[in-house]
C-alpha cells in the first residue's frame, strides 16, 4: 500500500498540517479525496489482498480536524427526546465547536449518533438500540453499555468502543476504522465487511464474516457456525473454537506479520489474552467461488 506521506510529498504539501476551510474549498475534489486517504489502494491481480505494514498510520486525516476542540465538553440528556431531536442536537453542538459530547440516559434508543462526518469524541453513558452510530466518518465513540443490532453499519472511519455486549450484524458493510466490542456479539458480525477492523473480546454467533470483502476481524472468544461463509477476501482471526467454517473459508498460516499486528491491535484496546496471540487461527477466502478468475476487471469488461 502506497503510504500517504509519500503521496503528500508528491503533491507538495502535508495534509496533516491542517487547512482552513477557505484553503479546502480552493482544492479539487480529487485532492480532497486524496487528503482523506481515499484512492490509495491498488487492487492486485488474482488476489485483492492489500498488504499492510505493522506500523501503519491510523485511519485517515481530516481536513477540519484542527478546528475541533476536544477539550470543549458538554452533556446532552436524551431523556424523553425522540431520536431525530437527539441527532439534531448533536449536530448543533458540533457546529458550536464542541469536541466532546456526553450522551446521558439513551435507554436503548435507536439510531443514535448516525451520520457524524467529522472528528468528535462521543461518549454514550448507557445502552443504545438498533443502528447506533451508523454511517459515521471520523468520530471516536465510546459506549458504556450495550448496543443493539447493526451497530456502526457502513462505518467509514473513526473508532467505536463498546464496553458491554453487542447485537447481531455488528459492523455490517463496514468500510474503515476500528470497531471494538469488549463483550460478546450476536450473529452475522461483519456481514459484507468492506474494510476496517472489527475486534470482539468475547464470542461471536453464526455467519460471522458472511460475504466479507476486505478488512480484518478479530474474535478473541469462540465463533459460531458458518464462519466466513462465501467470503470474497479479508482475514478473520479467531482465538477460541470455531464451530464450523462456511463455504470457501479456509484456514491459513499465521505469519509473524499477523502476530505483530494482532499484538499491537489487542494491546491498543486492552484485550490482549494472557497467553498471547500464538493460539489464534487465521481464516481467509479460498477463492474457489465462481467470481474468481485470473482476469483484471478491465479485461473482464472486454470479454463481456
Partner 1 sequence: MCGIAGLIHRGKSSDVGSEMTSMLTALKHRGPDSTGFAVYGEPNAGDYIMRLKVAEQEDMASGYDMKDKIDIRIGEVEKRLAEHKASIKAKDAATPYAMRYVITHDGDTEAMARYIEDVEGTEILSLGNSLELIKDLGDANVVADNYGLRDFKGTHGIGHTRMATESDVDIRSAHPYWAFPYNDVSVVHNGQITNYWLKRRQMEQRGHRFMSSCDSELLAVYTADNLANGATLEDSLKASIEEIDGVFTYLVATKDELGMAKDTMAAKPLVLYESDDMIAMASEEVAIRAILPQEIDTTDPYDEEIRVWKA
Give contact residues for partner 1 (rule: CB under 8 A). Answer: 105, 107-110, 126-130, 144-146, 148-149, 164-168, 184-188, 205-207, 224-225
Q: Which is nearer to partner 1, 36 or 109 (CB)?
A: 109
What does the alpha-carbon distance between residue 93 and residue 120 come to, in Å, rounded to a whole number? 11
- We find the least distance from the C-beta atom of residue 129 to partner 1, in angstroms, to be 5
Q: Which is nearer to partner 1, 203 or 233 (CB)?
A: 203
User: Cell 456502526, residue?
Assistant: 152
- We find the least distance from the C-beta atom of residue 110 to partner 1, in angstroms, to be 7
CA distances for 67 relative to 24, 64, 94, 131, angstroms = 13, 5, 11, 28
Q: Which is nearer to partner 1, 146 or 214 (CB)?
A: 146
Backbone angles phi, psi at 265, to 5 degrees: -70, -45
Q: Which is nearer to partner 1, 187 or 197 (CB)?
A: 187
Whether residue 230 contacts residue 250, with contact meaning beta carbons closer than 8 Å, is answered with no
- We find the least distance from the C-beta atom of residue 162 to partner 1, in angstroms, to be 12
Cross-strand partners of 100: 73, 121
- We find the least distance from the C-beta atom of residue 186 to partner 1, in angstroms, to be 4
Helix (H, G, I), strand (E, B) or coil at 223: strand
Q: Which residues contact 95 (CB under 8 A, 6 or more apart)?
A: none
3-state secondary structure 6-59: HHHHHHCCCHHHCCCHHHHHCCCHHHHHHHCCCCCCCCCCCCCCCCCCCCCCCC
Q: In the structure grid, which three cell numbers stand for residue 156, read together?
A: 467509514
DSSP 103: E
Q: Which is nearer to partner 1, 109 or 135 (CB)?
A: 109
Provide the terminal-to-terminal Cα distance of the chain, rounded to the nearest Å. Answer: 30
- We find the least distance from the C-beta atom of residue 33 to partner 1, in angstroms, to be 37
- We find the least distance from the C-beta atom of residue 82 to partner 1, in angstroms, to be 11
Q: Which is nearer to partner 1, 41 or 125 (CB)?
A: 125
Q: Which is nearer to partner 1, 158 or 202 (CB)?
A: 202
What does the alpha-carbon distance between residue 46 and residue 123 come to, in Å, rounded to a whole number? 42
Identify the CA nearest to 204 among candidates 230, 252, 237, 159: 237
Q: Which is nearer to partner 1, 177 or 224 (CB)?
A: 224
What does the alpha-carbon distance between residue 167 and residue 151 come to, in Å, rounded to a whole number? 8
- We find the least distance from the C-beta atom of residue 195 to partner 1, in angstroms, to be 25
Amino acid at each position: 500500500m502506497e503510504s500517504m506521506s509519500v503521496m503528500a510529498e508528491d503533491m507538495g504539501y502535508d495534509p496533516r498540517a491542517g487547512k482552513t476551510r477557505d484553503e479546502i474549498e480552493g482544492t479539487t475534489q480529487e485532492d480532497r479525496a486524496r487528503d482523506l486517504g481515499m484512492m490509495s489502494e491498488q487492487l492486485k491481480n488474482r488476489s485483492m489482498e492489500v498488504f499492510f505494514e505493522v506500523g501503519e498510520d491510523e485511519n485517515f486525516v481530516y481536513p477540519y480536524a484542527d478546528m475541533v476542540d476536544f477539550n470543549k465538553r458538554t452533556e446532552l440528556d436524551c431523556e424523553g427526546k425522540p431520536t431525530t431531536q437527539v441527532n439534531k442536537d448533536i449536530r448543533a453542538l458540533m457546529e458550536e465547536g464542541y469536541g466532546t459530547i456526553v450522551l446521558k440516559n439513551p435507554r436503548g434508543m435507536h439510531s443514535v449518533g448516525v451520520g457524524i462526518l467529522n472528528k468528535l469524541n462521543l461518549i454514550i453513558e448507557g445502552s443504545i438500540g438498533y443502528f447506533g452510530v451508523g454511517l459515521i466518518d471520523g468520530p471516536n465513540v465510546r459506549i458504556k453499555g450495550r448496543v443493539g443490532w447493526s451497530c456502526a453499519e457502513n462505518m467509514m472511519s473513526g473508532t467505536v468502543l463498546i464496553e458491554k455486549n453487542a447485537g447481531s450484524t455488528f459492523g455490517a458493510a463496514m468500510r474503515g476504522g476500528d470497531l471494538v466490542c469488549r463483550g460478546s456479539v450476536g450473529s452475522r458480525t461483519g456481514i459484507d465487511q468492506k474494510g476496517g477492523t472489527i475486534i470482539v473480546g468475547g464470542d461471536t454467533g453464526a455467519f460471522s464474516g458472511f460475504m466479507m470483502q476486505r478488512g480484518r476481524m478479530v474474535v478473541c472468544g469462540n465463533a459460531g457456525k458458518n464462519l466466513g461463509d462465501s467470503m470474497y477476501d479479508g482475514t478473520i482471526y479467531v482465538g477460541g473454537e470455531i464451530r464450523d467454517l462456511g463455504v470457501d473459508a479456509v484456514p491459513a498460516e499465521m505469519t509473524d506479520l499477523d502476530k505483530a499486528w494482532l499484538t499491537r491491535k489487542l494491546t491498543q484496546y486492552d484485550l490482549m489474552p494472557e497467553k498471547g496471540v500464538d493460539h489464534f487461527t487465521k481464516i481467509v477466502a479460498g477463492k474457489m467461488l465462481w467470481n474468481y478468475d485470473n482476469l483484471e476487471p478491465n479485461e473482464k469488461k472486454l470479454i463481456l
